[in-house]
Amino acid sequence: MVDVEEPELADSPYVTLISSDGLQYVVKREAALVSGTLRGMLNVDSSFQEAETNRIKLHEIDSVLLEKVVEYLYYNLKYKNEVDTPEFEIPTEMSLELLVAADFLDV
C-alpha cells in the first residue's frame, strides 16, 4: 500500500535542513538543489529517507554555519546566470568551517 502523503512531500517546493544543534531552516527546494549532496539525498529515485520526508539532518554543521550555507545557496541561485556577481561575504573566523561544509555539500 502506498502512503498518499509521500507524493505531496516529494513535490513540496520546500525542504527542511536541520543543524547539529537542532535548529531548522526551511528553504526552497531549488535553492537546496544547488548542493550536489543535498540534490542526491532529495532525488526521488534514491533510497534516501530524506527524499520522502524533505528533511535533512546535517550532523556536522551547527546552526551558525548552516545559516551561512543557506545564505550561500540562495546567493548562488540568484546569481547563477549573472556575469558580474557581487562578492559573497565570508567572515574570516568562519572560513575553514565553511570550506569543509562546502566540500561536503558539493557547492
Distance of alpha carbon 6 from alpha carbon 9, whole angstroms: 5
Distance of alpha carbon 5 from alpha carbon 94, whole angstroms: 39
Q: Which domain holds residue 29?
A: 5-105
Please give the single-letter amino acid code of residue 64: V
Q: How many domains does the chain have?
A: 1
Please report the pLDDT score of residue 11 as a whole number.
72
Please report the pLDDT score of residue 9 as a whole number.
55
Distance of alpha carbon 97 from alpha carbon 31, whole angstroms: 20
CATH number of the domain enclosing 86: 3.30.710.10
- pLDDT-flagged residues of the chain (< 50): 1-8
Coil, strand or helix: which one is 104? helix
Distance of alpha carbon 81 from alpha carbon 69, whole angstroms: 20
Please report the pLDDT score of residue 91 as a whole number.
94
Q: Which of 57, 58, 61, 48 is nearest to 98 (CA)?
A: 61
The pLDDT tens digits for 60-87 are 999 999 999 999 999 999 999 998 999 9
Coil, strand or helix: which one is 91? coil
Please report the pLDDT score of residue 10 as a whole number.
60
